[in-house]
């Protein structure tokens, strides 16, 4: 008799209760994926402003490292701002290096040529020679 | 922490230098212009005389590896002064020197391998593989003939014995519509 009661209690406790099964879904919701995606235009604005305000060579090169680290080729306006910034801090080598960076980032030669054509005025204005023109390859 | 501090120091010195420059620029403009004109005229003279005594910028690339620390610093300073001029007035050599000093293939940007290296690695790999092949063939020369159980007759006899013993009667050698080779390799 007592053994029977005992076993029925055990069986009842082994059965999943209705209350326990009501918990559905994870309690911890993660919102790490809900960042606002920065648009290309705001990215461009941000870096144009950054390069216009850059004070020294360190800042310019830091900004270049950052804006070339994204999965996009910076817009010509950003490049122009960066070139003017490197003129401001008197660093010719960085200006040449920027074009080298573009060459690395673009997908093919026509895109690189398009960038060169687009930036031809400022290249002539500042007197920037490309690395290819410097070393002839 | 230390690197952070070093960075901050570097930036501070750069900032002080720029302040200093700006201080010069904002002193009485007529005076500043006068100084600038004087310095540019004198610098062209002194630069040429200094270039002769110092390192010529025309082939810094070739000399760079042999230059001492102080000479490198001198070239750095020389190039830094040069880059303050209008860039359109720089000669090709000066531009090359400025680029090479900053981003040339030296120090951390030195190439990891020399031009002929990959060919050398390929040749050595092929030589080692060839030596291993020759060693294998040579060792086989000393081995005896294959054992008698590896002959076709023996293996066909094995098949016959297997059918006789009705081995694997559902899917194997002894099954009615068997098409495989049985024990024959």
User: Which ipTM did the prediction report?
Assistant: 0.72
Interface test with A, best of B21, B57, B99, B101 (most A CBs within 10 A): B99
Which of chain A's residues have a Cβ under 8 Å away from the Cβ of B78? Answer: none
**A51 with A85: CB under 8 angstroms?**
yes
Which of the residue ranges A30-44, B2-16, B56-70, B146-160 has the most confident prediction, judged by mean pLDDT?
Answer: B146-160
Ranges of each domain in chain A: 40-135
Which range is least confidently modeled, B16-30, B81-95, B96-110, B160-174?
B16-30
Q: CA of B120, closest CA in chain A: separation in Å?
A: 26
Which of chain A's residues have a Cβ under 8 Å away from the Cβ of B24? Answer: none
**A121 with A84: CB under 8 angstroms?**
no
Q: Is the backbone of residue B166 left (phi > 0), alpha (psi -120 to 50) or beta?
A: left
Which residues form the domain of B175?
145-184
Domain contains B125: no
Domain contains B33: no
- Is the pLDDT at A106 greater than 90, yes or no? yes
HSE value, Cβ hemisphere, 13 Å, CA-based, for A14: 6
- Is the pLDDT at A88 greater than 50, yes or no? yes
Tell me the pTM.
0.60
Domain contains B19: no
When divided into structural domains, chain B yields a total of 2
CA dihedral A112, A114, A115, A116 (to 10 degrees): 90
Domain contains B154: yes
CATH class in words for A40-135: mainly alpha
Residue from the list A87, A97, A134 with its beta carbon closest to the beta carbon of B96: A134
Q: Which residue, among B160, B156, B90, has the nearest Cα to A93 in the 3D structure? A: B90
3-state class (DSSP) for residue B181: coil
Number of A:B CB contacts under 8 A? Answer: 53
């Amino acid at each position: 008799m007592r053994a029977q009661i005992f076993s029925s209690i055990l069986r009842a406790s082994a059965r999943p209760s209705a209350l326990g099964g009501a918990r559905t879904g994870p309690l911890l919701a993660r919102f790490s994926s809900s960042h606002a995606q920065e648009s290309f235009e705001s990215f461009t604005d941000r870096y144009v402003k950054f390069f216009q305000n850059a004070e020294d060579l360190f800042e310019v090169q830091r900004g270049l490292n950052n804006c070339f680290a994204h999965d996009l080729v910076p817009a010509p306006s950003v490049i122009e701002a960066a070139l003017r910034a490197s003129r401001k801090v008197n660093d010719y080598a960085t200006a040449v290096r920027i074009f080298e960076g573009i060459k690395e980032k673009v997908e093919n030669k026509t895109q690189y040529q398009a960038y060169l054509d687009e930036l031809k005025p400022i290249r002539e204005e500042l007197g920037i020679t490309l690395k290819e023109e410097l070393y002839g390859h | 922490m230390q690197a952070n501090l070093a960075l901050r120091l570097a930036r501070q010195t750069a900032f002080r230098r720029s302040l200093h420059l700006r201080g010069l620029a904002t002193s009485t403009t007529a005076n500043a212009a006068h100084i600038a004109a004087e310095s540019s005229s004198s610098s062209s003279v002194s630069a040429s005389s200094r270039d002769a005594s110092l390192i010529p910028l025309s082939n810094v690339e070739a000399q760079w590896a042999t230059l001492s620390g102080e000479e490198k610093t001198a070239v750095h300073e020389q190039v830094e002064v040069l880059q303050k001029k209008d860039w359109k007035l720089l000669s090709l050599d000066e531009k090359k020197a400025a680029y090479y000093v900053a981003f040339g293939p030296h120090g951390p940007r030195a190439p990891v391998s020399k031009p002929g290296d990959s060919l050398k690695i390929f040749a050595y790999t092929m030589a080692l593989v060839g030596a291993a092949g020759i060693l294998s063939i040579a060792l086989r020369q000393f081995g005896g003939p294959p054992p008698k159980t590896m002959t076709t007759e023996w293996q066909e006899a094995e098949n016959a014995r297997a059918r006789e013993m009705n081995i694997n009667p559902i899917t194997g050698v002894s099954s009615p519509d068997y098409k495989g080779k049985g024990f024959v390799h």
